[in-house]
Amino acid sequence: MGDSVGRAALEVAGRFETEVVRFLRDMIAIPAESQREGERCERVRQEYEKLGFDEVGFDRLGSVVARIGDGPFTILMDGHIDCVGIGDRDAWEHDPFDGKLEDGKVWGRGAVDELPAIACMAYGAAIARSRGLRENVTLYLTASVMEEDCDGYCLLHLIEQEGIRPDVVVIGEPTDLGVYRGQRGRVEATITTKGRSSHAAHPEEGINALYKLAPIISDIEALNDRLPSDDFLGKGTVVVSNVECTTVSLNAVPDSARINIDRRLTAGESPDAALAELRALPHLGDAEVELLHYDELSWRGERARQEKFFPSWVVPEGHPAVRGVAEAVEAVLGSPPAISRWSFSTNGVATMGRHGIPTVGFAPGLEELSHTTGEWVAVEDLVRATAVYSLIPAFLASLEEELVL
């Protein structure tokens, strides 16, 4: 398979440009933050059914799942359907839920993170189906839920509760048409201080819990400078991301205070070691360090529970999963893609991070536009991505013997 296959795939994908753009704009037009994705999921289910996939439905968590083929070699292509909120609506140049099409770009919340992948994967899979999947292949598509709240849980559920364990996974976080093979992990933790309330007119009678936090915050800032770095994944980091306190009034000394901590883990770092570092901060005193837990209900009422630890992961550059996806990209684009990694976290924390399933990322869109008020994706890149997704099943299937060793 080579350039002629790529050119043919690009030509076919171009015929579906209008449909891909329309589907993407329809999804953008439906607000869908984590736990409230139902209406957007229903829209995706309708599109999957229209495209004639062999099986379409919801898993118990609420992710949309489609199947094509029934061979023993299983490929999963995943895009998460939920998006973060919009913040200050006045900060948006374009309506975040309009899906505006202008100057060859689609704009709006989710136009990068990561609704393009869902649209392009759907039509890429449909093209692959019309071409004929190899008999040994089953291709699953997921439009997964709750990723922004608890990355990876949706695929943990799929694997551990629904019994779908793929041999290889392609995830649709933005890569600007490059091929990504890893990410840093992360831990979400809190540090809580206790004080004693008193009237603000008599602060000497109380113990100010916020003041106890102040040197701890300085310790954390200093800790960030000492964290290790990895040549590929980059540096471990720690950030105080939120401060809150309890007080009986605005004229009283706070009797408790808490900070939230985002700790990014580079290669070789463990959550236990990261928590131990926090518990060893010079000014911690009697403050308590706790790992956060996720415990929420999905839009279908299924309970999701998990410690908020998300492992780092890396797939070797020479791995057949990386080679197969990169060869599909090269066939379409005509040159080798950039091989890199994400700065943020993805659903790969479940597939590769926890289950060791080879996981590779490919999608249109610029990572740095994620969660901004200026999200956009180029229509030209939507067509290119659709062509690549249409080839990925065949390119990976040709490497089955290496992938399932």
One-letter amino acid of 112: V
First and final CA of the chain: distance in angstroms? 23
Which residue in 147, 230, 255, 330 is the catalytic one?
A: 147
- Alpha carbon distance 311, 187 (integer Å): 8
241: enclosing H helix or E strand: strand 237-246
Q: Predicted confidence band at 374 (pLDDT cuts at 50, 70, 90)?
A: very high
| Average pLDDT estimate for 62-83 | 97
pLDDT for residue 404: 81
What tens digit of pLDDT does each residue of 252-286 get? 999 999 999 999 999 999 999 999 999 999 999 99
**Structure tokens that stand for 113 in this block:** 């993170």
Best CA proximity match to 286, nearest among 188, 210, 190, 192: 192
pLDDT for residue 2: 62
Checking if the pLDDT of 163 tops 80, the result is yes
pLDDT for residue 173: 98
**pLDDT more than 70, % of the chain:** 99
* Cα 165 to the center of its chain, rounded Å: 19
Q: Please, what are the domains in the chain?
A: 3-183+312-403 (3.40.630.10), 188-297 (3.30.70.360)
What tens digit of pLDDT does each residue of 200-210 get? 999 999 999 99
| Average pLDDT estimate for 177-181 | 98
Give the pTM. 0.94
**Structure tokens that stand for 234 in this block:** 């980059």
CB 227 within 8 A of CB 237: yes
Q: Predicted confidence band at 50 (pLDDT cuts at 50, 70, 90)?
A: very high
One-letter amino acid of 68: I
| Average pLDDT estimate for 121-134 | 95
pLDDT, greater one: 134 or 75: 75
Which residue in 37, 78, 82, 173 is the catalytic one?
A: 82
What percentage of the chain's residues is helix, strand, coil (to nearest 5)? 35, 25, 40
| Cα–Cα distance list, 277 to 182, 233, 267, 269 (Å) | 24, 20, 16, 11
pLDDT for residue 350: 97
CB 390 within 8 A of CB 13: yes
| Average pLDDT estimate for 284-302 | 97
Strands (E), 254-400: 256-265, 288-291, 293-297, 303-307, 309-310, 313-314, 339-342, 359-361, 376-378
Instruction: Please confirm, yes or no, whether 82 is among the known catalytic residues.
Output: yes
One-letter amino acid of 297: L
Checking if the pLDDT of 1 tops 60, the result is no
CB 313 within 8 A of CB 321: no
Q: Within 10 Å of residue 404's Cβ, how many Cβ atoms?
A: 13
Instruction: Please confirm, yes or no, whether 95 is among the known catalytic residues.
Output: no
CB 358 within 8 A of CB 321: yes
**pLDDT more than 90, % of the chain:** 97
